[in-house]
A and B are shown apart, each in its own frame.
Chain A
Amino acid sequence: MNGSELAKAVIDGVLTGGVYALMAAGLTLIFGVMEIINIAQGVMVILGAYLSYTLQVHAGIDPFLGLFITIPVMFLIGVAIEWGFIRRLATRDRTALSILATFAVAIVIEGLLTQFYSADLRTIDAWYVDRSWHVLGFYLPYIYLFGFALAVVLLGALYLFVYRTRTGYSIRASMQNRTGAELIGIDINRVSAITFGIGSAATAAGGMVYGATNTFNPDSGYDLISRLLVIVVLGGLGSIGGALVAAVLALVIEDVTAVLWSPVWSSTMFFAVLVLVLLFRPTGLFGQRAVRAQ
């Protein structure tokens, strides 16, 4: 172990953390507005990866250019899921029911993917996937850099949308007080559908980068959703900024653990961080609302 290995682990953690932040931002935004936990977010990332994969293999479209197709497609899928399964949930035990409903949606998506693509492991391939940028003695894979840049751009766009547009105001009003927002004339159904669509659209981009940096099959969604859930709780449920910090923090800790201790224990540390933080801060790092009192 030496200093440059450690620095490389931190850089890798930050770069991959950016992509996880994007996926987690969608999840935490959905929770903040709708008070539901979208268990399907993990398998939707994998669906996004398969969409990019298919466009590239069958139509020869570069994965990054393909996002102009996959992002709107995932947005529409998200709107459809919200309309079809979330909106109709009974109001009593809504959060608990949403976990089961979105899990069922996840199972159906996993089944469809298994049916179409089989359980074989795939990966997205392009010139920037296996080439690295040699800088300051580090080899940084281009895909990590491009993926990070993409995440920053999209998170910036999300920020502008949520904080600078009329629909964004409605979304934030609904996050702060759902009933109050309804009373001042905000169409909560429309806001919910858009929010779920945006949360899903984030998985298209996240899935493309995930698919290029990992091998995946329809089963990969479970590992992803558990990590995403840890990130959003670590950051404080409903806090987008918290999710960003938590994603980078958790992935840096995972990568540093691999260098300092052993790669075997790096995933365990990822989850252990949450347990340690919750020991001292049951609301997560940036929990704005008193989660304990919910």
Chain B
Amino acid sequence: MADAPAERKLADDEVRSGADPLAAPAVRRAGRAVAVVALLCAIGFPFVFTNPATTSIAFFTLLYVGAASAWNLFSGYSGYMALGNAVFYGSGAYFIANITNHLNLTGGVGIFVWVPVAGLFAGLVAVPVGWLALRTRRHTFVVVTIAIFFIFQLLAYNLQSITNGSAGMELPLPPWTAATYNNYFYAAALVVAVIAIALSWAVRRSHFGLQLLAIRDDEDRALGLGVRTARVKLTAFVLGAFVTGMCGAVYAYYLGSVYPPFAFEAIFDLTVALMAFLGGLGTVSGPVVGALLLEPLQQWLTLQFTAAGLSLILFGALFLLVIGFLPQGIVPSLEVLLRRLLRRRAR
């Protein structure tokens, strides 16, 4: 653990000098192949596993792949720890509940058309929220996002005319049978997850992504070098909110109802952050790996240990182990290992 920063520095130097074995075309091709195989596996999954209990876990896992990637898109790249993403999750959920009720829509595939619109709505909410929160930096920013989260949760209870308060709102019931019910939502979650990963990948490779990384490394210097930090940060914040809002909308439709504590859930804020940390902050694949490991584990723990206390203890202990032993996350640690291996082979 103590030599981790030194290792990282070494790796960075290699990248700079162009000697990074991971940048070799063969490795990149292998990486792309892994991504394609993973996507094919995700598409094939519901055909192989038809048990609703299994597909339900798979659905939630994909939803969190999307949400964790969205969190990473802003927080991972810019270094600003946002702990209030449930604001956008809940905004998306309440938007789709309102729109389906006002338009008297009947349940069916057609409802999914409103998912991207719910994402746009969440993005719209993120503009004033981000503008306000991003006036502060680092630690203060973290706390401000938490405060804004609680304001939204309380608003969900109090603005009866929009949210129906603690009584919650119902969404139209889809006409699907129990055996196929999960599959529609699985497909929707997969599409959202792919959009999230594609966005995250595109940002990481773009000039815009480099500006975000520059802000993470040294905001004042980035500003001095001509990065319009305020605009760049806000754009990334809104992009993340857009994807998170879509996740929230799919979640609400899946549950069939929206209640303040489920739409605006404090655990959600921290879960997405933990997933990105576990996988590797600021990498494209990190949040995906984190969500793929953590969400099934969490669901399994809850099912396995019906005593609520025990599953919390195990989850927290695992969390501490990850922070203690893999502070950089799984993906960067694997990269270091792979680099060493490739270098040894090259010699």
Contact = CB atoms under 8 A, between A and B. Distances in A.
A111 B312 contact: yes
A291 B139 contact: yes
A229 B143 contact: yes
B343 interface: no
Interface string B139-153: 110111011101100
B249 to A, nearest CB: 25
Given A100-B274, A107-B316, A229-B147, A275 B154 contact: no
Interface in B285-330: 307-317, 319-320, 323-324, 327-328
A90 B327 contact: yes
Contacts of A88: 1, 324
Contact of A237 (B1, B139, B266, B309): B139
B220 interface: yes
Interface of A: 31, 35, 37, 85, 88-93, 95-97, 99-101, 103-108, 110-116, 119, 218, 222, 226, 229-230, 232-233, 237, 264-265, 267-268, 271-272, 274-275, 278-279, 282-284, 291-294
A108 B310 CA distance: 9
Interface stretch (B17-25, B92-100, B130-138, B193-201): B130-138
B226 to A, nearest CB: 19
Given A115-B313, A274-B144, A282-B136, A100 B5 contact: no
A31 B139 contact: yes
Contact of B151 (A89, A119, A275, A292): A275
B147 A226 contact: yes
B54 interface: no
B143 A230 contact: yes
Given A37-B143, A107-B319, A100 B277 contact: yes
A100 B275 CA distance: 11
A232 B143 CA distance: 9
12 contacts: A88-B1, A92-B4, A92-B5, A93-B281, A100-B274, A104-B316, A107-B313, A232-B143, A271-B148, A275-B132, A278-B144, A283-B140
Provide the main secondary structure of the chain B interface.
helix
B140 A108 contact: no
- Kindly list the 6 A-B residue pairs having the minimum CB-CB distance in the complex, ordered from nearest: A111-B312, A115-B309, A107-B316, A114-B309, A111-B313, A108-B316
A133 B277 CA distance: 52
B319 A104 contact: yes
A105 B154 contact: no
Contact of B158 (A35, A237, A268, A284): A268
Interface string B40-84: 000000000000000000000000000000000000000101010
A233 B148 CA distance: 13
A105 B320 contact: yes
A68 to B, nearest CB: 29
B191 interface: no
A62 B186 CA distance: 56
Nearest to A284: B140
A79 to B, nearest CB: 17
B270 interface: yes
A55 to B, nearest CB: 21
